[in-house]
Amino acid sequence: MSLGKEIQEQLVKAATDPHVPARVRTALETWRAVDQRYNQWFLKEAKVRLTTEQLLDDVLAQDEECFDFAGERWLNYQAHPTPENEAELLRALSHWSETQTRLMQKYAG
Average pLDDT score over the chain: 91
* Residue 81 DSSP class: -
pTM (2 decimals)?
Answer: 0.87
In tens, the pLDDT along 24-75 reads 999 999 999 999 999 999 888 888 888 888 887 888 888 889 999 999 999 9
Angle at 11 (CA atoms; ends 9, 17), nearest 5 degrees: 105
Q: CA–CA separation, 67 vs 3, rounded Å?
A: 11
Q: CA–CA separation, 78 vs 98, rounded Å?
A: 23
Q: Is the pLDDT of residue 77 over 80?
A: yes
Q: 88: pLDDT confidence band, cut at 50, 70 and 90?
A: very high
